[in-house]
């Protein structure tokens, strides 16, 4: 095909656009995923030095990865870039006659393992037990209670509509996650109480006809970036000594449920993970919690006063 075999950096453009359309229409990729693929493939096009996709070989891809590493990109970021490139070439091989995928077998530099940050149960309580001072904080407390209660993704929380409020009232909510997959998760009593308080004052902010459950001071749907800023502000106001971001509440939900239940499959379903391997990271967090308990409680683990 012309877009694969023609030379020049412009040869990438038609193929990339068709690939992104495929991801959007056939794979139902999110807007954020499509934007990330576009950035990664634009980076590939800039590294090719006038070569078409069909002209690239594995040693070229390794060289590109080395250049990204030399430019300061970390191993985790390079792995994500390579994954985007690998998917693009896999699509060209399967549907457009490219002889081979040059990214297969190419691996990023190993990145240090980094576990997600979580709040302790006491920190979560301190964050969520505060009394709101105004209507905006009534909204904020309802959002953060729901975040922690149900382990929602940030985009799922921002996308909630009033039509889902009836489900929230009876203790559950159905959300649409990655790749258009829906799941129903429980909503705890404290979150339901906070949502009821918000629902009672929502009309003070909401524009007429606005369908969003959580609205901004201007009356429209609250953006994901604003939710993050409001959470950071709320955490500082409560005196938490850690940087609290939206995904930390989801991580904390998963870690605390796993600590209490040890049911990895249930946590996978609640989080909406496609693979159990993604959920297994929380078993490491759980082990850290158990190890600290052991160090504090076991007579052979405790250090005697004055001993190093």
Read off the pLDDT of residues 225-272 as tens digits, 9 standing for 90 and up: 999 999 999 889 888 878 888 888 888 877 767 666 656 666 666 665
Identify whether 153 is a catalytic site residue.
Answer: yes
Q: Are 139 and 282 part of one and the same domain?
A: yes
Is there a domain that residue 267 lies in? yes
Is there a domain that residue 274 lies in? yes
- What's the CATH number where 233 sits? 1.10.443.10
Give the pLDDT of residue 103. 93
Q: Are 133 and 274 part of one and the same domain?
A: yes
**Tokens 């040869």 sit on residue:** 11
Q: Does the pLDDT of residue 24 top 70, yes or no?
A: yes
Complete DSSP assignment for 60-72: HHHHHHHHHHHTT
Q: Does the pLDDT of residue 298 top 50, yes or no?
A: no
Is there a domain that residue 219 lies in? yes
Q: Is the whole model's pTM more than 0.85, yes or no?
A: no
Which residue out of 141, 202, 250, 256 is catalytically annotated? 250
Identify whether 294 is a catalytic site residue.
Answer: no
Q: Are 87 and 206 part of one and the same domain?
A: no
Q: Are 130 and 85 part of one and the same domain?
A: no
Contact 162, 154 (CB under 8 A): no
Q: Does the pLDDT of residue 284 top 60, yes or no?
A: no
Q: Are 203 and 84 part of one and the same domain?
A: no
Is there a domain that residue 46 lies in? yes
Which residue out of 178, 199, 233, 289 is catalytically annotated? 178
- The model's pLDDT over 5-21, given as tens digits with 9 standing for 90+, comes to 444 444 678 888 999 99
Instruction: List all residues 6 or more positions away from 215 whose beta carbon is below 8 Å from its beta carbon.
Output: 139, 202, 205, 206, 207, 221, 222
Identify whether 141 is a catalytic site residue.
Answer: no
- Mean pLDDT value of segment 188-197: 88
Confidence of residue 111 (pLDDT cuts 50, 70, 90): low
Among 48, 79, 96, which residue terminates a domain?
96
Identify whether 237 is a catalytic site residue.
Answer: no
Q: Are 222 and 136 part of one and the same domain?
A: yes
Confidence of residue 164 (pLDDT cuts 50, 70, 90): low
Give the pLDDT of residue 262. 57
Give the pLDDT of residue 210. 92
Is there a domain that residue 207 lies in? yes
Give the pLDDT of residue 5. 47
Give the pLDDT of residue 182. 77
Give the pLDDT of residue 49. 77
Q: Are 130 and 92 part of one and the same domain?
A: no
Which residue out of 139, 192, 256, 273 is catalytically annotated? 273
Q: Are 127 and 90 part of one and the same domain?
A: no
Contact 124, 148 (CB under 8 A): yes
Identify whether 250 is a catalytic site residue.
Answer: yes
Number of structural domains found in the chain: 2
Q: Are 136 and 227 part of one and the same domain?
A: yes
Is there a domain that residue 53 lies in? yes
Q: Which residues does residue 99 pair with via DSSP β-bridges, in sequence order?
A: none
Is there a domain that residue 194 lies in? yes
Give the pLDDT of residue 97. 83
- Cα distance between residue 208 and residue 30, in whole Å: 28
Q: Are 140 and 230 part of one and the same domain?
A: yes
- What's the CATH number where 27 sits? 1.10.150
- Mean pLDDT value of segment 98-107: 90
Give the pLDDT of residue 238. 87
Average pLDDT of every residue of the chain: 79
Is there a domain that residue 303 lies in? no
Identify whether 37 is a catalytic site residue.
Answer: no
Which residue out of 141, 153, 192, 256 is catalytically annotated? 153
Q: Does the pLDDT of residue 166 top 70, yes or no?
A: no
- CA distances in angstroms from 257 to 79, 119, 154, 191, 286, listed in the order given: 30, 13, 19, 16, 10
Contact 154, 247 (CB under 8 A): yes
Domain that holds residue 72: 2-96
- Cα distance between residue 199 and residue 204, in whole Å: 10
Give the pLDDT of residue 269. 61
Q: Are 290 and 228 part of one and the same domain?
A: yes
Q: Does the pLDDT of residue 69 top 80, yes or no?
A: yes
Instruction: List all residues 6 or more positions away from 180 whose beta carbon is below 8 Å from its beta carbon.
Output: 28
Q: Does the pLDDT of residue 281 top 80, yes or no?
A: no
Among 43, 63, 96, which residue terminates a domain?
96
Q: Which residue has the higher pLDDT, 28 or 112?
A: 28
Q: Are 213 and 247 part of one and the same domain?
A: yes
């Amino acid at each position: 095909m012309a877009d694969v075999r023609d030379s020049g950096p412009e040869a990438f453009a038609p193929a990339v656009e068709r690939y992104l359309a495929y991801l959007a229409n056939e794979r139902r990729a999110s807007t954020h995923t499509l934007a990330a693929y576009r950035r990664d493939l634009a980076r590939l096009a800039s590294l090719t030095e006038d070569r078409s996709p069909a002209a690239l070989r594995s040693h070229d891809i390794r060289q590109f990865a080395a250049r990204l590493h030399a430019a300061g990109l970390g191993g985790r970021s390079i792995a994500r870039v390579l994954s985007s490139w690998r998917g693009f070439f896999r699509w060209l091989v399967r549907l457009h006659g490219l002889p081979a995928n040059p990214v297969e077998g190419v691996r990023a530099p190993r990145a240090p393992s980094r576990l997600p940050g979580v709040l302790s149960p006491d920190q979560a309580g301190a964050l969520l037990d505060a009394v709101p001072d105004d209507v905006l904080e009534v909204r904020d407390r309802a959002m953060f209670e729901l975040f922690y209660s149900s382990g929602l993704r940030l985009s799922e929380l921002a996308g909630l509509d009033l039509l889902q409020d009836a489900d929230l009232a009876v203790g559950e909510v159905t959300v649409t996650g990655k790749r258009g997959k829906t799941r129903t998760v429980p909503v705890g009593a404290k979150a339901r109480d906070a949502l009821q308080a918000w629902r009672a004052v929502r009309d003070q902010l909401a524009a007429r006809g606005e369908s969003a459950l959580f609205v901004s001071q201007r009356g429209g749907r609250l953006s994901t970036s604003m939710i993050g800023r409001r959470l950071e502000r709320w955490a500082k106001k409560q005196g938490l000594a850690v940087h609290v971001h939206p995904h930390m509440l989801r991580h904390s939900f998963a870690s605390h449920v796993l600590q209490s239940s040890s049911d990895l499959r249930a946590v996978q379903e609640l989080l909406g993970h496609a693979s159990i391997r993604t959920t297994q990271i929380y078993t490491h967090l759980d082990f850290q919690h158990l190890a600290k308990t052991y160090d504090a409680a076991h007579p052979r683990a405790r250090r005697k006063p004055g001993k190093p």
